[in-house]
Amino acid sequence: MNLSELNKVANAMVKPGKGILAADESTSTIKKRFDAIGVESSADARRDYRELLFGSAEAMKNHISGVILYDETIRQNAKDGTPLVKLIEKAGSLPGIKVDQGTKPLSFSPGEVITEGLDGLRERLAEYRGLGAKFAKWRAVIDIGEGIPSWNCIKANMHALARYAALCQEQEIVPIVEPEVLMDGAHDADRCYAVTEWVLKTLYVELFETKVALEGTVLKPNMVISGKKSAKRASVEEVAEKTVRVLKACVPSAVPGIAFLSGGQSEEEATAHLDAINRIGGLPWKLTFSYGRALQAAPQKAWLGKAENVAAAQRAFAHRARMNGLASEGRWSATLEKKAA
């Protein structure tokens, strides 16, 4: 393993003012997003939409350090025949690839899931590396509810994440390690804190035992946040304080950077939280975004599948990317949102 090269890539992924665009929706997930805007999800429509994003020079050059792709997308060409990967590289951004194969019910653990995709992963990574991928992503999903998560679920999922990360580094690819504690439940932020702490502590033991070099990884965690159905809402300051506290307690300083998922937060909420987290300051890692929904909701709404809306959609994407870029340095404010609107 060439650790200094992996470390260089990991640092580039979390460069101040920039963050990651998660555009790795599976075919079934992107269909849901397209359904919401009344667009039929054909391979060409998916290509057109992603070409719109990756060809958005202002957003990509200034604020997007890397793009997470789906298997179909890493093999697709833009309308003029240029590979989409080249479009990303031309903007000075790094192509990455989602390599997990989604979740399945975890045996004898009702309500819990395990992420699959380890079989044949070494060979798939080698192929993706040939197609230009510099980093990869694997998402483990931990739900909070009555009696869950179980230790069985946490242990199995963190072990799988560590095995994935080791395979990535062996193949000279930086692993994004994503243990997502879902915000779907009725729990409060303190319960989210406790579960996130359990998950992260377990993850870093597994990464140690699997011999993963932390300097060549990026962590993609949830923020410590109230569940969607919770009546007790944590304020922006409380989310920032609790998120930073749990990360300090669990994440070694050898990790170059942390890129949060948005997980169902509104666009402005995800930006405000990231900004408040970065305003705390004095932390050993860079803290940025790796957002899917919180970066793409606005461009999707503006696009609606119509060629004449491409420029407006790119403007909406550039605005969201800029707001999050500012938040990655603790320089965002709500007035900037209003001015642009």
Active-site residue identified among 178, 180, 206, 267: 178
* CB-based closest residue to ligand 13P: 292
What residue ranges in the chain does DSSP mark as E strands?
Answer: 19-22, 64-69, 94-98, 103-105, 113-115, 135-142, 174-181, 218-219, 257-260, 286-291
Q: How far is the CB of 219 from ligand 13P (least distance, A)?
A: 13
User: Is 116 in contact with 100 (CB distance < 8 Å)?
Assistant: yes
Q: How far is the CB of 86 from ligand 13P (least distance, A)?
A: 22
SS3 304: coil
Q: How far is the CB of 297 from ligand 13P (least distance, A)?
A: 9
Q: How far is the CB of 2 from ligand 13P (least distance, A)?
A: 26
Q: How far apart are CA 289 and CA 324, in angstroms?
A: 7
Q: How far is the CB of 30 from ligand 13P (least distance, A)?
A: 12
Residues of the shown chain interacting with ligand 13P in the complex, contacts defined by CB under 6 A: 22, 139, 178, 261-263, 291-294
Q: Which is nearer to ligand 13P, 125 or 176 (CB)?
A: 176
User: Is 220 known to be catalytic?
Assistant: yes
Q: Which is nearer to ligand 13P, 214 or 259 (CB)?
A: 259
Q: How far apart are CA 289 and CA 284, in angstroms?
A: 16
User: Is 81 in contact with 102 (CB distance < 8 Å)?
Assistant: no
Residue 230 is given by DSSP the state -
Q: Which is nearer to ligand 13P, 185 or 292 (CB)?
A: 292
Of all helices (H) and strands (E), which one includes residue 269? helix 267-280
Q: How far apart are CA 255 and CA 288, in angstroms?
A: 13
Beta-carbon count within 10 A of 84 CB: 24
Q: Which is nearer to ligand 13P, 121 or 177 (CB)?
A: 177
Q: Which is nearer to ligand 13P, 22 or 246 (CB)?
A: 22
- Rg (alpha carbons) of the chain, rounded to whole number: 19
SS3 329: coil
Active-site residue identified among 18, 134, 220, 286: 220
* Catalytic center residues: 178, 220
